[in-house]
Amino acid sequence: MSEAGGRPRRGVDHKGRASLPRKAAPRLAAGRARALGLPTRGTTNANRLRRVDRWLRATQVPRLRDAARPLVVDLGYGSSAVTTLELADRLGPEVHGLEVVGLEIDPERVTAVAADRDPPRVDFRVGGFELAGLRPVLVRAFNVLRQYDEESAAQAWQTMCAALGPGGLLVEGTCDEWGRRSAWVALDADGPLTLTLSARVSDLDEPSDLAERLPKALIHHNVPGQPVHVFLRALDTAWATAAGLSTFGPRQRWTAAVETLAGQGWPFVGSSRRWRHGEVTVRWSAVAPV
């Protein structure tokens, strides 16, 4: 695969699918309510998922508005309801009739947030990768697959994507404790579509610092010869070349670096306005393991 991976197509929606892995993987554990998965550590912080939430608001509102039932699942919300409530607050003003359901495999965590229930706007249930029998339009699954091996994470992708409603989207990713560094993959029923990197760029020495937040499907493939490694090295090089723009601020430097890669033919998705937020989205086919 070349470094460029094709000419950029700006302003287009998520297309250019790649198939999900079909290799058999170990069976995931089942909880008391047949919820598939294992409990996470449960750690969370207010505003931790702001980066992915802003991306969802910028890119996925039309999908929700077009749905007969705009149902969103927040999978693995942790020991506090805060990020689920923030998701409802951020998307709710944009989508009439929005419903957000937080799912946790640990029944005690569901009981602990009972006072935060406000159905149908916000509710909490026991559930895992099977999505508790719901058919959501959108699933946000953050920081839930870090503890799994690559094969089990791929199986979790398959299970969640199979449970999506018509035209549904899964957004699976990770972020640091304070939400300053994030990476996520968008998938539909046919497989991965895009990879997004998002960061407070003033905290980066170089863009490849985000490698520690790559999803399980990529993190072990960030080695020479693999496309995601080529992508991160190219972004580092463009970042170094744009060092002279640091006097105007790190966002300007980041934007210039991404513009350089777009000129090289990397297939970026969505509006270039997102770049100013320390964000870039690239087609999965350009970074998928080989």
Q: How many CB atoms lie within 10 A of CB 198?
A: 26
Burial class (CB in 10 A: 0-12, 13-18, 19+), 4: middle
pLDDT band at 188 (very low <50, low <70, confident <90, very high): very high
pLDDT at 281 (0 to 100): 98
Average pLDDT of the chain is 89
pLDDT at 6 (0 to 100): 42
pLDDT at 247 (0 to 100): 85
pLDDT band at 9 (very low <50, low <70, confident <90, very high): very low
Closest listed residue to residue 130, CA positions, set 97, 105, 107, 111: 105
User: Can you list the alpha helix ranges (DSSP code H) found in 134-202?
Assistant: 150-162
118 in Cβ contact with 44 (< 8 Å) = no
User: Does residue 264 surpass a pLDDT of 50?
Assistant: yes
pLDDT at 212 (0 to 100): 95
**C-alpha neighbours within 13 Å on the C-beta side of residue 112:** 14
72 in Cβ contact with 97 (< 8 Å) = no
pLDDT at 40 (0 to 100): 64
pLDDT at 7 (0 to 100): 38
Q: By percentage, how much of the chain surpasses pLDDT 70?
A: 85
> With the CA atoms of 214, 219, 224 and 226 taken in that order, what torsion angle do they form, in degrees rounded to the nearest 10?
-80
115-157 residue pLDDT tens: 999 999 999 999 999 999 999 999 999 999 988 999 999 999 9
Helix axes 227-241, 250-264, angle to 10 degrees: 130
78-98 residue pLDDT tens: 989 999 999 999 999 999 999
172 in Cβ contact with 142 (< 8 Å) = yes
C-alpha distances (whole Å) from 147 to each of 51, 131, 144, 150, 197 are 22, 19, 7, 10, 21
Beta strands in 20-77 (DSSP E): 71-75
Q: Alpha-carbon distance 222 to 228, whole Å?
A: 6
In the block, residue with structure tokens 């302003």: 11
17-71 residue pLDDT tens: 444 444 343 344 433 346 767 666 556 778 999 999 999 999 999 999 999 999 9
261 in Cβ contact with 208 (< 8 Å) = no
pLDDT band at 246 (very low <50, low <70, confident <90, very high): confident
In the block, residue with structure tokens 């870039």: 280
pLDDT at 147 (0 to 100): 86
Q: Alpha-carbon distance 123 to 114, whole Å?
A: 8
**Tokens at 225, concatenated:** 């010869």
pTM of the predicted model as reported, rounded to 2 decimal places: 0.86
